[in-house]
Structure 1
Amino acid sequence: MLSQPYQKEFRRAPAVLTAGVLVGGFVFSMAMTLPGELSYDSVIQLLEGRTAAYSGWHPPVMSWLLGLADAAWPGAALFVLANAAMMLVSMLSLLRLSPYTSWAAPVVALGCILLPQFAIYQGIVWKDVLFANAAIAGFIALAQAAVRWPELLWRVALLATALVLLIIAALARQNGPIMLVAAAVSFAWISRDQGAAATRALQAGGAALLIALSVFGAASALLHMRTLPARGAAKQLRVLEAYDLVGALTLDPGLQLPELRRSDPSLLDAMRSARSYYSPVRSDTLARAQTLQSALIHAPDDVLHGPWRGLVLHHTGLYLRERAAVFQWVFLTPDLSRCVPYVVGLRGPAPALRALGMQERVDSRDEFASSYGTRLIGTPVFSHPIYLTLALLEFAFLLYRRRIADGVLACLLAGGMAVTASFLFVSIACDYRYLYFLDMAALIGLFYIAGDPRLTDGAARTRKTWAVPEVA
């Protein structure tokens, strides 16, 4: 029979091994991708961060954070390190949510770190990666607060950390605020678990949502003070509206848009002539329709609001058909080669690169990363439906088991699925990164469950582990 100290060390072995695997994965990813994989958008955002002048074409929080990192260490390397380290620390902290770690944990951890979602994506300077990492880290902080609730200082510190991370996530994507709603539901779950009545728990969740939205609004206002005029959100909305309207005209050439015919008949004619350029794969193809682009340049930003609203309200079936065709590409990615599975190296517009003092780069490590990812294209590794199925199974398991932190992780998964569903209405391209958060949420859920997959014997022990000793 094993001695008592040896038994204790043996029980710790899976956690120690898992931590080693995760740290090794972090080192592998950074060794392969530093000083960061940058695309056209990444370079523009880095320049915006350095100059503190934001175009608003992308949520400015990404440019702001890149600017902070660039000021300390020129380039994007510090940002990449900090972003990837946030994911590493979050995953390591999951091992603290239960006093028990199974031998499945290091196996799942090894599988995760070898996936391109970890090995390659964690080194890519994309807002999608920031959004996923910050949202996941925020929910893990909430889960930690749930199990350490009796310890006031830890509770306050962890809740504050969760708030900051979730605000960053909400600012990083246009549909990011969905995760604030999921976090509020999670907070209501925690309140209920701590003994609050159902009504009080709902009130707590509502109050948490109001606080989060207030901070989000204030942060947005501060960032938009540095946003250049006549750019940004209004232009993005018009791209979506034009894309939907041209798509609807392509599906139904006889579609009448009376409001646009009255307000700008030449723009309507340009949209009809642009139908041959329309593709549900991405909106960029419409850039080749010169007549349409010229008409849009000379039209006011709000010219399409009414016609688009009319399409949605009066031709709902047609609108949903057009949106479904676009969503099919972003969710199913029928031809992944057309959907930018990942990027490697450094590429961007020449003027921006000159302003940054940078040059285009594709070195041997970039080529290795590209080769690494290419081998996995066409496999389930790059399949959003697989990750959605995994997330649904995890969600059901967590709600059935109902440990202290299970509800928080279930809300993370639900938020990931809600963000995915929102792309039915906002997607304008099939880039794989758009649903990266779904993949990562499912993988984090799998890692969490693998750490302690038991249906029983965990909840009470977890509560006891973090309870404050009673004072006689």
Structure 2
Amino acid sequence: MAKLSIDISVNVSPRTALRAVLAAGLLVMLGANLPGHLSYDSVAQLYEGHFHIRETWGPALYAWVLGFFDRFIPGTSLYVTVSAALLFGSLAAMADLRPRTSWWGVLMAALVALTPQLMIYQGIVWKDIMFADCAVAGFVLVAWAGRVWPDKVRRWTLLIAALVLMAAGAQVRQNGIIAGGFAALAVGWIAAQGSWRRGIGWAVGALIALVLVGGAETTFSEPPKAPTDTALSTGLRIVQSYDLLGAIAMDPNYKIDKLSEADPAAAAIVRARAKADYSGRRVDFVDRDTAIQAGMNALPDKAFAQQWIDLIIHHPGLYLRVRWEDFRWVFAPPVIDWCLPVYVGIDAPIEKMAPLGLQHRFVQSDVMLSNYASWFLDTPVMNHAFYFAVSLVLAGLFLWRRQEGDVTMAAMQLAAVAFSASFFIISIACDYRYLYFSDLAALAGLLYAAVDPPLPWLKGPMRKPS
């Protein structure tokens, strides 16, 4: 009897394997996290989006986005799926920006997909995650626009999509405009084609469009009869009072003349309680002290603003000491466990959850995810300072090579660095999520670099746009 032999060979390219790894990572992430993890902030914004009202000073656009997806499938399952698919799809699209894909890219894709930043954070319903996903996707779209620049239809389609995403990100994360600004610079570089005037024109035009589209998105998302948005003034007051409490706590001899002139008794209470209540970890500790809260509430915004300006102009050394104490906690927290490194489950006041059909949740799968994250807490994987350094190195390598897509990817890394640095001025709490974009941008940059390593002995020919 003749033997029948069948020879089946499968030839899988690195690019195909990279896409398969990221697709599998997306499915595993969704299976482990859906319908999503919601803290009080998440539930409050979903509540606003569902009922078309405005009760908090969280971004109106984020509430609208959550409400939009909630109309199709109640809750946040659809939102989490779409947001995560946007990120994973963007990471997969980076492979096509290079003329070749190495197997190192496949390995890096697997490692990136396994980090808590993707495996868990993509399932958390926070505006910080939406901003990061929109920003990374926006940079990838700009890079693709550069690749197809001669094709006007494809170019403008990609640039408009990038503009909408970048503008949305800037509206849900106040300092998210930084990412949009660097994306505008990348557009200017691509469009310049040897003419610096043309490049400046494109960059300025992109930045103006970013501001206009962002404003339109927020206006569109505001519910009917919404109260006046006081987020900016409220946030400024919090930063000013936090800085002043820190200055008083660090230097008992610092004079708060402006506050004393406005209300001597209230100023005396603030001075007496500042040292006990101030912590670089977070401003929230002040809320626990009703005495200092009463004193601060009695002082007008104008007095805080004047005293804060006095601190910066006449006591810059003290101001920088305060800011460094606040910044070090968010950038490189001495004890990461105190800075909400991960959040799983669902928890909020029942009066907010019941109308949405939500229930408190912390089940075995949440416990497992929390345990999984704990493996990485004291490693570089969960260290903003590490990713800050990674972004600086990657930006240098990409700018050295300056091939197709490199300048845009370098712009994303520099945006991550600038975004982290901005918290030296605005930090009021050390929650890990605040610098999530910086981590994600560095991880995306590592994947892009691994796809076609920017090393001298591997430097390949420039591929013309297609």
> Which bracket does the TM-score occupy, shorter chain normalised?
over 0.9
Give distance in 2, aligned partners of 1:47 and 1:201.
44
Matches within 5 A, 1:10-409: 13-192=13-192, 195-223=193-221, 227-229=226-228, 231-275=230-274, 276-409=276-409
For 1:217, what is the secondary structure of its paired residue? helix
Post-superposition shift, 1:57? 2.4
Quote the offset at 1:356 in angstroms.
2.0
Contact 1:57 / 1:236 at 8 angstroms: preserved in 2?
no
> How many residue pairs end up in the alignment?
453
Q: Shift in Å at residue 189 of structure 1?
A: 1.0
TM-score (norm 1): 0.92
Q: Is the 8 A contact 1:55 1:231 kept in 2?
A: no
Question: By how many angstroms is 1:223 displaced?
Answer: 4.1
CA shift, 1:62, in A, is: 1.4
Instruction: Find the residue that maps to 1:304 and give its secondary structure.
Output: helix
Report runs of 4+ in structure 1 exceeding 6 Å deviation: none
Match of 1:5 in 2: none
What is the aligned partner in structure 2 of residue 470 from structure 1? none
The answer for the alignment partner of 2:415 in structure 1 is 415
Distance 1:78 1:454 in 2: 37
**CA deviation digits over 1:359-418, x for unaligned, max 9?**
100112111111111122212211111111111111110000001210001111111111
Note if contact 2:80-2:123 (Cα within 8 Å) is conserved in structure 1: yes
State which drifts further: 336-345 or 236-245: 236-245
Structure 1 position 425 matched with structure 2 position 401 = no
Amino acid corresponding to residue 312 of structure 2 in structure 1: V
Gaps of 5+ in 2: 1-9
Q: Which moved more, 1:347-356 or 1:170-179?
A: 347-356
Distance in structure 1 (CA, Å) of the matches to 2:258 and 2:445: 48
Give yes or no for contact 2:242–2:428 (8 Å, CA) kept in 1.
yes
Match of 1:4? none
Distance 1:210 1:42 in 2: 31
- Root mean square deviation of aligned Cα: 1.8
Offset from partner CA, 1:280-334 (integer Å, 9 cap, x none): 1111110112122223445544442222122122211111100000101111111
**Runs of 5+ consecutive residues of structure 1 not aligned to the other structure:** 1-8, 468-472
Deviation at 1:21? 0.6
1:420–1:435 CA contact under 8 A, matched in 2:
yes
User: How high is the TM-score relative to the length of structure 2?
Assistant: 0.93
Higher deviation after alignment, 125-134 or 286-295: 286-295
Q: Deviations over 1:93-142 (max 9, x none)?
A: 11211231111011000100111011000000111111110000000000
> In the alignment, is the contact (CA less than 8 A) between 1:404 and 1:459 conserved in 2?
no
User: Is the contact between residue 56 and residue 231 of structure 1 (CA under 8 Å) also seen in structure 2?
Assistant: no
* Letter of the structure 1 residue corresponding to residue 88 of structure 2: L
CA shift digits 1:123-164 (9 cap, x unpaired): 001111111100000000000000011112110110011000
Q: Which amino acid aligns with 1:253?
A: P
> Bigger CA drift: 246-255 or 294-303?
294-303
